[in-house]
Structure 1
Amino acid sequence: MRKVKFYGAISLDGYLADQNNSLNWLFKYEDKNIMEKSYQPFIKDIDTTIMGRQTYDDLMSMTNEFPYSDMTNYVLTHRSIDSNEVISINTPIERLISKLKIQSGKDIWIIGGGKIVSTLIENHLIDSLQIQITPDILGNGVKLFTKMNSHSEFKLINSQRYDQFIDLYYELKGPTA
């Protein structure tokens, strides 16, 4: 069965993006080591991405070409997207994940976060979290985790330092009461 994985960087205080939904604070780091030893091994096992509309719009504001055109890409949105690169879908994330997990293929990458990641955690539908923590304190912005009404426990599998980043890899232990 396919695995559902989150991979992404956050500030020391837990933000994915700043208060303007910008990732500019993150682009000051140019660590080839983390790309070669963390991102490249991660991405080789991925053939599907899922992101929200805000993440998609933010991504497209930073580039002229969609960076994952060799994959199947879903964008959760109420509005259609005029692109051959993505499938715009207005389905609850739980239903989409349940359908995709039983299909053949490589693993599924959850890009972005907040509501999507938290919903998947609450429903025990995310298998792993690989989080790179930077030394930045943003104070405000888009949090990786939103308020959740249930408890989930993850097990630390690996941690690695790459210059100013700490790369943490966790796997879901299973539902807890």
Structure 2
Amino acid sequence: MRKIKFYGAMSLDGYLADQNNSLDWLFKYEDTDIMEKSYQPFIKDIDTTIMGRQTYDDLMNITDKFPYPDTTNYVLTHRKINSENVISKSIPVEKLIRELKQETGRDIWIIGGGKVISNLIKHHLIDSLQLQITPDILGNGIRLFQHMDNTSEFKLTASQQYDQFIDLTL
């Protein structure tokens, strides 16, 4: 059965992006090693991505070309997106996940979006988290884990240091 996975980087104090929605704090690191030894093995098992509209807009602001053309890509939004690379969906993420898990395919990557990931954790729909933690303390910004009314337990299954990143698999 398809697995629902989160893969992404965050600061030591739990932020995905700084207070200006910027990832500049992350791009200062040399990432060749982590890309080859962490990201490449992860992405080979993915055929579908899901992201929120803010994550999509932020992604398209930092690149001219959509970076995942070989996967089926869903963006959670109420507004139309004019792109041949994405499918707009205006349904709750947990409903989309339940639909996609019934289909055959490889794993599903939840890209960014503290609200999306927190909602999926709340509904116990995340199978694994793969977090790259940097030594940065941002103090403010977009948190990976938004306020949740329940707790969740994950078990650490692997950890590896890549230069200034610690890569945790839960």
TM-score by length of 2: 0.99
Aligned to 2:163: 163
Q: 1:31 Cα deviation (Å)?
A: 2.3
Q: 1:149 Cα deviation (Å)?
A: 1.1
Q: Is 1:99 aligned to 2:99, yes or no?
A: yes
* Identical aligned residues as a percent: 74
Q: 1:116 Cα deviation (Å)?
A: 0.5
SS across alignment from 2:154: strand
The number of residues matched between the two structures is 170
Aligned to 1:122: 122
Aligned to 2:16: 16
Q: Distance in 1 between matches of 2:98 and 2:117?
A: 15
Residue-by-residue CA offset, 1:75-133 (whole Å, 9 max, x unaligned): 00010100000001100001000000111001000000211000000100010000000
Residue-by-residue CA offset, 1:19-41 (whole Å, 9 max, x unaligned): 01111110011121101110000
Aligned to 1:28: 28
Q: Distance in 1 between matches of 2:121 and 2:51?
A: 15
More strand by share: 1
SS across alignment from 1:112: coil
Q: Distance in 2 between matches of 1:168 and 1:36?
A: 16
Q: Is 1:110 aligned to 2:131, yes or no?
A: no
Q: Distance in 1 between matches of 2:31 and 2:146?
A: 29
SS across alignment from 1:108: strand
Aligned to 2:145: 145
Amino acid at match of 2:103: Q
More helix by share: 2
Query: Tell me, which stretches of 5 or more residues in structure 1 are unaligned?
Result: 171-177
Amino acid at match of 1:62: I
Residue-by-residue CA offset, 1:47-99 (whole Å, 9 max, x unaligned): 00000000000000001110001100000001010000000110000100000
SS across alignment from 1:156: coil
